[in-house]
Amino acid sequence: MILSVIYYSSCANIQGISGGPEDKTPPMLTEQNSTPNYVTNFNEREINLSFNEWVRIENPSANISISPPTEFPPEYKLKGKRFTIRFDKRETLRVNTTYNVQFGECIRDITAGNIQRNIRYVFSTGSYLDSLSIHGKVIDAFTKKPKEKILVSLYKLLDDTAFQKMKPYYFSWTDTAGKFSMNNLSPGMYKLYALEDKNQNYYYDQTTEGFAFYPDTIQINSKDSLNYVLSLSVKSLPVNIKDKQLRPGQLNVYFNEKPFKVKLECDSSSSIQFVNLKDSVLLWNGSQEEIRCILNYNSKKDTFKIPPVKERLKDSIRGIQLVQSLIKPGELPEFKMNYPILQIRKDSFQFLDSVSKITAIHMDSLDPRKFSIEGTYPQSKPARLLIQANAIQGLHQITNRRDTFTLRFMEKSSLSRLSMNLDGLQTGWAYIFQLLNGETVNVEFTFVATESNKKLFFRNLFPGKYRLRLIHDANKNEYWDPADFSNRTQAESIWYFDIPDLRADWDVDVSIKL
């Protein structure tokens, strides 16, 4: 069966008394007993809000926001149904300025804890109310999912350092859908930012805080509500060695992030075995002398001395691991030990049936601990492989124990086939291609686009729900980079595309246009 699809990018609650209908109504403002809203020429020292029922105020210092911000924190007072915001005696409100007071989730009724989210108090110290607005959305730069409770800020100071030193002129918070809005804004030129404000000081001063910035200065000068999308990410930490394990004959180096441009320089390179994994580097000294090595990564250098193994290791007999018990058509059974392999005795490998035969054993070119077996196997039933003891000679006189493995070979008819056409690629750009099954990366590779169109074919995929993640690898380091505020660089672009469900023995043809 063939399916073709085309995609385009684009704190404790007080419970009410039982016995009646459940109270789901939040407290309502009684306007006749409250300070008038949307007033001009405001010169009061306090704002009074009266409600139709007794209320409680949840953490007003964190929930209530006034923009533009006041110089001194106001005083909050609650008495029964009346809530008062009193400006500090030292506070001088700005002239001819429209102020917005937002209450977040702090106003709740005292019985069921229902939250009043729709109150916003606006006043102007001048003769008119500013009426301009913007709105938009904050998403996670990597997952593209909406981000809630994110501080969105507007600065009149166009120097980017203001975002790192002072409170914004206007600000708002995103809702559960990642959406934000700012109303009653004055016209002018602004810089727009978003911040995961962990220490609640309203500006970016911690590298662990997620942030986003709109690349251009925005101009607010019309009554049309402007719409913006901000992609939030956390700055990458500098790649450093977080741990290392040193013992005779072996050094394991672990990084806090995946390193790139890894290069090894040793006094005796012929005696060193080396494997570079995603976030670690493993080295083995096969000589009888201490070897000094220099590890180069991310423009950094670290020097290590790896001592030799003087005596035979006590646990010199190790097991062998079958990497995948289910083997797809065209693939070879792959095995692994935890030490580099020096020699393999093919005659110590034996299939326990009369059909299967071994034709060759191949060492992995990137990992000296791995090997694969080429041969003829029955595709319709499992094959049992016996590996005799001492069939493998590893570094430091490591050898293997006797073991038997069951190899199961999958039929082509139980797998899916996917044809994909990528269109709209930028010539010369580097991309990271990831085919996801759930959150697991099933297929991954990098490529540089030589033309705008690229055709791909995957023959043996497990049935299931897949999606494509395509990353613009702008600096060609083979992984996704978040935004860097110090260099004013945005997070690398990511596109997601859903793939139709793959079913056994199906051919699915997908065209994707960026």
pLDDT band, residue 378 (cuts 50/70/90):
confident
pLDDT band at 289 (very low <50, low <70, confident <90, very high): very high
The pLDDT assigned to 222 comes to 79
| Six-digit token string for 299 | 């423009």
* pLDDT tens-place string over residues 475-499: 998 889 999 999 999 999 999 999 9
Instruction: For residue range 187-224, list pLDDT tens digits in order.
Output: 999 999 999 999 888 899 999 999 999 999 999 987 76
Query: In the predicted model, what is the mean pLDDT of residues 95-113?
Result: 91
Output b/e per residue, 468-492; b: 16+ Cβ within 10 A: bbbbbbeeebebbbbbebeeeebbb
- Residue 453 in domain: yes
Q: Which of 170, 278, 282 is nearest to 218 (CA)?
A: 170
Q: Structure tokens of 247?
A: 């013992």
Residue 419 has a pLDDT of 97
pLDDT confidence of residue 278: 85
Q: Which of 3-7, 116-120, 411-415 has the lowest mean pLDDT?
A: 3-7
Distance CA 306, CA 323 (A): 29
Examine residue 2 and state whether it is found in any structural domain, yes or no.
no
Task: List the single range of 3-12, 140-149, 324-333, 358-367 with lowest mean pLDDT.
Answer: 3-12
Is residue 246 located within the same domain as residue 163?
no
Sign of CA dihedral 156, 162, 168, 173: positive
pLDDT at 17 over 80: no
Q: Assign 20 a pLDDT band (cuts: 50, 70, 90).
A: low
- The number of angstroms, rounded, from the C-alpha of 170 to the middle of its chain's C-alpha atoms is 28
Question: Which of 80, 99, 124 is the last residue in one of the domains?
Answer: 124
Residue 21 has pLDDT above 70, yes or no: no
Q: Rounded to the nearest 5 degrees, what angle is found at the Cα of 298, between the Cα atoms of 436 and 287?
A: 100
Regarding whether 88 and 120 lie in a shared domain, the answer is yes
Domain of 46, CATH number, reads 2.60.40.1220
Over the Cα atoms of the chain, what is R_g?
32
pLDDT tens-digit map of 150-168: 999 999 988 889 999 998 9
Q: Are residue 423 and residue 376 in the same domain, yes or no?
A: no
58 by DSSP, 3-state: which?
Answer: coil
**How many whole angstroms separate alpha carbon 287 and alpha carbon 295?**
19
User: CB–CB of 170/211 below 8 Å?
Assistant: no
Q: Which amino acid is at 83?
A: F
Reported as a pLDDT band with limits 50, 70 and 90, residue 8 is very low
Same domain, 426 and 495: yes
Q: How far apart are CA 51 and CA 33, in angstroms?
A: 8
**15 assigned to some structural domain:** no
50 and 67 both lie in a single domain: yes
CATH number at 463 reads 2.60.40.10
| Top-confidence residue, 278 or 369 | 369
Q: Output the pLDDT for position 15.
A: 44
User: What would the mean pLDDT of 29-47 be, rounded to a whole number?
Assistant: 94
Q: Do 72 and 40 belong together in one domain? A: yes
Residue 12 has pLDDT above 50, yes or no: no
61: pLDDT confidence band, cut at 50, 70 and 90?
Answer: confident
Cα 112 to its chain centre, rounded Å, is 37
Q: Would you say residue 156 lies in a domain?
A: yes
Residue 70 has pLDDT above 70, yes or no: yes
Q: In 3-state terms, the chain is what percent helix, strand and coil (to 5)? A: 5, 45, 50
Q: Is residue 366 part of a domain?
A: yes
Q: Are residues 204 and 171 in the same domain?
A: yes
Task: Indicate if the pLDDT at residue 117 is higher than 90.
Answer: no
How many CB atoms are located within 10 Å of the residue 510 CB? 21
The mean pLDDT value for 82-101 works out to: 96
403-409 sheet: strands from edge to edge: 326-327, 403-409, 383-387, 349-351
CA distances from 316 to 284, 309, 395 (A): 15, 12, 10
**What does the alpha-carbon distance between residue 232 and residue 140 come to, in Å, rounded to a whole number?**
5
Last residue within a domain, chosen from 124, 156, 191 = 124
CA-based nearest residue to 101, from 53, 59, 49 = 49
Which residue would you say has higher pLDDT here, 129 or 310?
Answer: 129
- Among 17-31, 47-61, 362-376, 447-461, the range scoring the smallest mean pLDDT is 17-31
Question: Looking at the 3D structure of the chain, how many domains does it have?
Answer: 5
| DSSP 8-state code for residue 188 | E
Are both 119 and 155 inside the same structural domain? no
pLDDT at residue number 10: 41
Task: Answer yes or no: is 496 within a domain.
Answer: yes
User: 143 and 114 in one domain?
Assistant: no
In the predicted model, what is the mean pLDDT of residues 237-251? Answer: 93
CB neighbour list of residue 64: distance below 8 Å, 6 or more residues apart:
76, 85, 101, 102, 103, 104, 106
Which structure tokens are listed for 436?
Answer: 């996801």
* 469 close to 496: Cβ distance less than 8 angstroms: yes
Exposure string of 187-205, with b = 16+ CB inside 10 Å and e = fewer, is eeebbbbbbbbeeeebbbe
| Same domain assignment for residues 362 and 323 | yes
Question: Structure tokens of 65?
Answer: 């926001």
Say yes or no: 111 and 57 in one domain.
yes
Q: What is the pLDDT of residue 14?
A: 38
Q: What is the pLDDT of residue 13?
A: 40
Q: Show the domain range for 446.
A: 414-513
pLDDT tens digit string along 321-353?
Answer: 999 989 998 899 999 999 999 999 999 999 998
Nearest residue to 496 via CA among 440, 423, 434, 453: 434
Provide the pLDDT for residue 433: 98
Average pLDDT on 101-116 reads 90
CB distance 499 to 466 below 8 Å: yes
For 366-418, give the secondary structure using H, E and C. Answer: CCCCEEEEEEECCCCCCEEEEECCCCEEEHHHCEECCEEEEEEECCHHHCEEE
Distance CA 152, CA 463 (A): 42
Residue 371 — pLDDT band, cuts 50, 70, 90? very high
pLDDT band with cut points at 50, 70 and 90 for residue 462: very high
Give the chain's length: 514
Specify the range with the lowest mean pLDDT, choosing from 38-52, 124-138, 374-388, 393-407: 374-388
Burial bucket for residue 211 (CB in 10 Å: 0-12, 13-18, 19+): buried
Q: Which helix (H) or strand (E) covers residue 179, if one does? A: strand 179-185
258 and 300, same domain (yes or no): yes
Tokens 């809702």: give the residue: 175
Q: What average pLDDT is seen over the chain?
A: 91
